[in-house]
Amino acid sequence: MAESDLDLDELRARLLGLRRTLTDVGKIGDAAAETVELDQARQGRLSRMDAMQAQAMSVEAKRRRESQLRQVAAALARIETDDFGWCVDCGEPIGIPRLEIDPIALRCIVCAERVEGT
């Protein structure tokens, strides 16, 4: 893949912006993932159930954010080592439109479809 076809500086900036956003959202969301206080004198059963459900959703959102942060870090590392834009399965170039839409993509569309079973 010719580097002139792919604006790595622009993709790097997008990845850094995504990392910043995920980090900022994580700071806000961490408080919601804390343990739910089960004080029956202060709240009813349904309120506690709602609080526990919200806490579980916050924990899952935190897990997904952390996973996405790892993917962003890996994409930035691939840019630095000139491995960015190559499919990890077949070694062929990943389509530029695919990378412009999803700069953390690891696979070309053919391999991604095969892995996802679609």
Q: Is the pLDDT of residue 95 over 70?
A: yes
Domain range list for the chain: 3-83
Provide mean pLDDT across the span 24-52.
Answer: 68
CA 32 vs. chain centroid, Å, equals: 19
Residues 36, 71, 97, 89, CA torsion sign = negative
Overall average pLDDT of the 86-105 stretch: 95
The runs of H, that is alpha helices, within the chain are: 8-32, 45-80, 96-101, 109-116
Residue 112 clears pLDDT 60, i.e. is over it? yes
Sign of the dihedral through C-alpha 97, 115, 107, 61: positive
- Amino acid identity for residue 3 in this structure: E
Q: How confident is the model at residue 3 (pLDDT cuts 50, 70, 90)?
A: very low
pLDDT at 31: 60
Instruction: Read off the pLDDT of residues 14-37 as tens digits, 9 standing for 90 and up.
Output: 999 999 999 988 887 666 555 555
Percent of the residues in the chain that have a pLDDT greater than 70, as a whole number: 81
Distance (Å, whole) CA 85 – CA 83: 6
**Distance from C-alpha of 91 to C-alpha of 46, rounded to nearest angstrom:** 53
| Whole-number pLDDT of residue 94 | 96
